[in-house]
Amino acid sequence: MSSNLLEGRIPPSLSNCSSLLILDLSSNHLTHDVPSELGSLSKLVMLYLGINNLTGQFPASLGNLTSLQELDFGYNRMEGEIPDDVARLTQMVIFQISLNSFSGVFPPGVYNMSLLKYLSLPGNSFSGNLRDDFGDRLPNLRRLLLGINQFTGAIPITLPNISSLERFDTSDNHLTGSIPLGFGKLPNLWWLGIQYNSLGNNSSTDLEFLSNFGNVFKGLLGPENKLVAVKVLNLLKHGSMKSFLAECEAFKGIRHRNLVKLITVCSSLDSKGNEFRALVYEFMPKGSLDMWLQPEDLERANNQPRTLTLPEKLNIAIDVASALEYLHVHCHDPVAHCDLKPSNILLDDDLTAHVSDFGLARLLYKFDRESFLNMFSSAGVRGTIGYAAPEYGMGGQPSIQGDVYSFGVLLLEMFTGKNPTDESFAGDYNLHSYTKSVLSVNEETGGSKAIDEGVRLVLQVGIRCSEEHPRDRMRMAEALRELFSIRSKFFGSNTTIRVNPSG
């Protein structure tokens, strides 16, 4: 019963459905409080009440649902503290209560959910400290989202013990202290959001990981106080300052409307005599593409309460393809990006896409070869699992064919809505094979709308780009031509054609 126009209260009489396993009333216009009677649905496994106008408090009676594995109360107007009764929900895997008005300390009962993989509390009024043994109590977390609250104290030192952690966001709180050692050793972590806190100045040993190549800060430049993004690089090799500056100067000569502009370079010594190297880029106000593809981050995309339309997605795909085609074909020396993923695609006010971090793989390969090889090891590409070409996991060097693979995965993610790291993918079953199976079923049933045909053609481009063997992949120029053709034929009346290849 989700995504309808249901209004009014949730009927307490639903408690009579004693054999109910799944109750999904999300994305409606339901009001008032959550009936305490739902706590008698002892067999319930999934309870989805998100994206409504529910008020009142979290019913303590829901602690009786000891079989419950997934709960979503996000995007409502509920308030009050989370009752300790949730400690009995020991089978919980997903606990999502973001964007409400819940308050109090971090819910103590949640520490008892040792099987939890997804915990989302952003946009509430939780306060107080997080327990030091946080990571030991919740060892299976993959996503831990605590942003836009009022948490204080230090980031728990045990969080790096969560080896499965992929995404940690505690931005917009009042945290203090340093970032715990060990985040850089987490093999699956690809997002670390810690901005807008009161964290102290971290040394390079404290701040081991914010991105594959360095730490990004927002700053002001020059007398005009121009807003910029500053990437402080963590290159381990000392010396070679002249060579480093020469390499970066070459990047400044790489200009394309769909590449983030490198404004200037800094290479000097800090107050402790350590080498300090940073790149200063133009700032992109609409954030990164992954913020728009991940529903829980829509509120961070400059408060844009919507998802991207199909024409917008296609425009962004063409922007990215244009940038890669320029790097691969039109630069004096071909440049392999080597780390293409949604978080490295930034959007300006017009939702024009700009590819960032281009050339940094070459910097790392040249100035810190050991770190480069470790990053692209058989254990998986740190922060880029799902997007990196298979050959990188076998010691392959940066290549434009690897970029084509990453672009293909990106296309498939944008137009299927499936993340390449989805839990359903394992072994040889991945986003590429999933999409091929979807298209096979679609061909058997037949698509009735022109837009269906357009999306099918886009997905075919994604499949051809993400073939396992480099020799079987399309070239980026060919992929770009295909996407231009699809946009002209199926989306031409809904979008603006942008054809300037190198302006």
- The string of DSSP letters for 28-47 reads SEE-SPPPGGGGG-TT--EE
Helices (H), 295-399: 310-325, 360-367, 369-375
Per-residue pLDDT, 438? 86
Instruction: Go through 212-243 and write b for each residue having 16 or more CB atoms within 10 A of its CB, e for each that does not.
Output: bbbbbeeeeeeeeeeebbbbbbbbeeeeeeee
Helices (H), 123-196: 134-137
Report d(CA 295, CA 143) in Å as an integer: 13
Per-residue pLDDT, 445? 61
pLDDT in tens, 452-495: 888 999 999 999 999 989 899 999 999 999 999 999 988 764 44
Instruction: Go through 124-150 and write b for each residue having 16 or more CB atoms within 10 A of its CB, e for each that does not.
Output: bebeeebbeebbebbbebbbbbbbbbe
Residue at 398: amino acid letter: P
In the chain, which residues have pLDDT < 70? 184, 190-192, 199-220, 222, 232-253, 267-276, 295-306, 358-385, 393-398, 442-451, 492-503
Beta pairing partners, 7 = 29
Per-residue pLDDT, 6? 87
Q: What are the E-state strand segments in 2-87? A: 7-8, 22-24, 29-30, 46-48, 70-72, 79-80
Which one of the listed residues 339, 357, 368, 403 is annotated catalytic? 339
CA atoms lying within 13 Å on the CB side of residue 107: 28
Q: Which domains are seen in the chain, by residue range?
A: 7-211 (3.80.10.10), 287-494 (1.10.510.10)
Pairing status of strand 29-30 against strand 70-72: unpaired
**3-state DSSP call for residue 371?**
helix
Per-residue pLDDT, 365? 52
Helices (H), 32-165: 134-137
Per-residue pLDDT, 244? 56
Judge whether 348 counts as a catalytic residue: no
What is the model's pTM? 0.56
Report d(CA 149, CA 324) in Å as an integer: 39
Sign of CA dihedral 303, 307, 311, 314: positive
By C-alpha distance, which of 8, 6, 502, 473 is closest to 256? Answer: 502
Q: For every residue of 429-493, which 3-state class applies, written as one string?
A: ECHHHHHHHHHHHHHHHCCCCHHHHHHHHHHHHHHHHCCCCHHHCCCHHHHHHHHHHHHHHHCHH
Per-residue pLDDT, 396? 63
Q: Residue 372 phi/psi, 5° resolution?
A: -60, -50
Report d(CA 7, CA 379) in Å as an integer: 50
Report d(CA 187, CA 157) in Å as an integer: 17
By C-alpha distance, which of 306, 328, 242 is closest to 277? Answer: 242
Report d(CA 106, CA 127) in Å as an integer: 7
Report d(CA 358, CA 328) in Å as an integer: 11
